[in-house]
């Protein structure tokens, strides 16, 4: 099983599937369709039924029930795209057998090192088989490890019909990293009562709380005049932008927050004297505090509009997703079964809020309660990303155990 998950992950990782928030297509990049097509072929090859891919790149398939009991249909999902934060072109995965606990040279020529001094949690993987990058790209285990785990679990269940289960649906979706994963997902066609995203990080993660999330674009418009004759005439958009950012709470930023603490995150700033744009993401687990954060940004913009003129500063803000806890808590058995499955495998469940979002955040509000399960990786979205193949196997076993528990409890 370890070789299977590694081989699958490496195959998927070598297809460039980075999403693009500036694209209006679905999926947002052609590489996602390439991988989706490969997954369709593989699903058919391992024996899955009702394998489909729609025009938007959503892949679905069915493993029919082999039990006569009345068991709810359960789904497992993973996303095809990889993060926009760091390049996913030309991924060259490296396999580290029996990791010895010391520095890992990712790229000798460029002196790129994955070290437990910088990433202390790495020491906990001594003895594991790790898959890393070569230091020049991300790996894409977020979420190609999840795809590999679902695919391996389905293949195993098909090969072992003595393991009883109800109907299982799987789906691989585009554009999760840019918040659009569920936008064209057909919940009714998927037909599951509950689902799980295989999209978490380290071993044991089990999450049913996410942020409430909004995105904001602030456009500052200036007036550029030759600096030698600018007195009383120039309006510097870049300085207005800097002033705006200073008016937000300094300590309420990602680099200063953890747990249930929300934040304002300046994710990018581009511009000059004439025009400067700031992009923010606003996050909080508490809905009331979330609304307060949006109101705070709006009030800062309004204050600067009074100072510089309403035409100088424009705010565009939209909600992205909400805390899935509200929809999952009434059907908490979906979390309890996953927790029991982990415990039966000797895995200590880590039930903590997601400091981000998964497709499950939106899917839960679309009528499909969908908590999130670990995939076994660390340092997602960058050159130091790695995943434990040993923990990927445990994720596969967790999927298998979950569907058996639904059958046993029916």
DSSP calls for 87-154: --TT---EEETT--SS-EEEETTTTEEE-TTT-GGGGGGTT--EEE--SSS---HHHHHHHHHHHHHH
Binding residue numbers for Zn(2+): 79, 142, 177, 199, 381
Q: Which residues contact 255 (CB under 8 A, 6 or more apart)?
A: none
Q: How far apart are CA 394 and CA 382, in angstroms?
A: 24
| CB contact at 8 A, 380 and 132 | no
Q: Which residues contact 32 (CB under 8 A, 6 or more apart)?
A: 17, 19, 57, 80, 81, 174, 175
Q: Which two tokens stand for residue 136?
A: 């020049």
Q: Is 305 exposed, middle or buried (0-12, 13-18, 19+ CB in 10 A)?
A: middle
Q: How far apart are CA 335 and CA 324, in angstroms?
A: 12
DSSP calls for 62-78: EE-----S----EEEEE
Binding residue numbers: 79, 142, 177, 199, 381
- Three-state secondary structure call for residue 162: coil
Q: Which residues are catalytic?
A: 81, 176
Q: Which residues contact 380 (CB under 8 A, 6 or more apart)?
A: 83, 138, 141, 142, 201
Q: Sign of dihedral through CA atoms 193, 67, 65, 43?
A: positive
Q: Specify the residue for token string 């500036």.
A: 22
């Amino acid at each position: 099983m370890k070789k299977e998950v590694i081989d699958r992950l490496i195959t998927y990782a070598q297809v460039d599937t980075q999403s693009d928030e500036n694209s209006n297509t679905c999926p947002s990049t052609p590489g996602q369709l390439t991988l989706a097509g490969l997954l369709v072929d593989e699903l058919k090859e391992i024996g899955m039924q009702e394998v489909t891919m729609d025009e938007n790149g959503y892949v679905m398939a069915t493993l029919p029930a082999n039990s006569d009991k009345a068991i709810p249909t359960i789904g497992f999902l993973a996303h095809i795209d990889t993060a926009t934060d760091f390049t996913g072109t030309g991924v060259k995965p490296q396999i580290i057998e029996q990791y010895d606990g010391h520095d890992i040279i990712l790229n000798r020529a460029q002196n790129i090192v994955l070290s437990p001094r910088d990433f202390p949690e790495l020491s906990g993987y001594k003895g594991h088989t790790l898959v890393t990058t070569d230091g020049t790209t991300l790996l894409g285990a977020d979420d190609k490890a999840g795809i590999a785990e679902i695919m391996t679990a389905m293949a195993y269940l098909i090969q072992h019909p003595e393991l009883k289960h109800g109907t299982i649906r799987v789906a691989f979706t585009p554009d999760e990293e840019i918040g659009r994963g569920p936008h064209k997902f057909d919940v009714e066609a998927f037909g599951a009562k509950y689902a799980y995203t295989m999209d978490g990080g380290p071993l044991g993660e089990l999450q049913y709380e996410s942020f409430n999330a909004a995105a904001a674009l602030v456009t500052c418009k200036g007036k550029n005049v030759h600096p030698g004759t600018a007195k009383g005439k120039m309006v510097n958009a870049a300085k207005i932008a800097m002033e705006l950012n200073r008016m937000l709470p300094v300590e309420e930023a990602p680099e200063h927050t953890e747990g249930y603490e929300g934040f304002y995150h300046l994710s990018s700033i581009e511009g000059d004297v004439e025009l400067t744009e700031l992009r923010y993401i606003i996050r909080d687990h508490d809905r009331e505090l979330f609304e307060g954060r949006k109101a705070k940004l709006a009030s800062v913009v309004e204050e600067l509009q009074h100072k510089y003129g309403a035409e100088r500063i424009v705010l565009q803000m939209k909600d992205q997703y909400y805390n899935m806890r509200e929809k999952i808590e009434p059907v908490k058995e979906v979390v309890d079964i996953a927790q029991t499955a982990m415990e039966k495998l000797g895995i200590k469940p880590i039930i903590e809020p997601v400091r981000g979002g998964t497709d499950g955040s939106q899917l839960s509000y679309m009528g499909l309660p969908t908590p999130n399960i670990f995939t076994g990786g660390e340092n997602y979205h960058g050159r130091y990303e790695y995943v434990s193949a040993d923990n990927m196997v445990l994720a596969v076993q967790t999927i298998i155990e979950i569907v058996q528990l639904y059958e046993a409890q029916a």
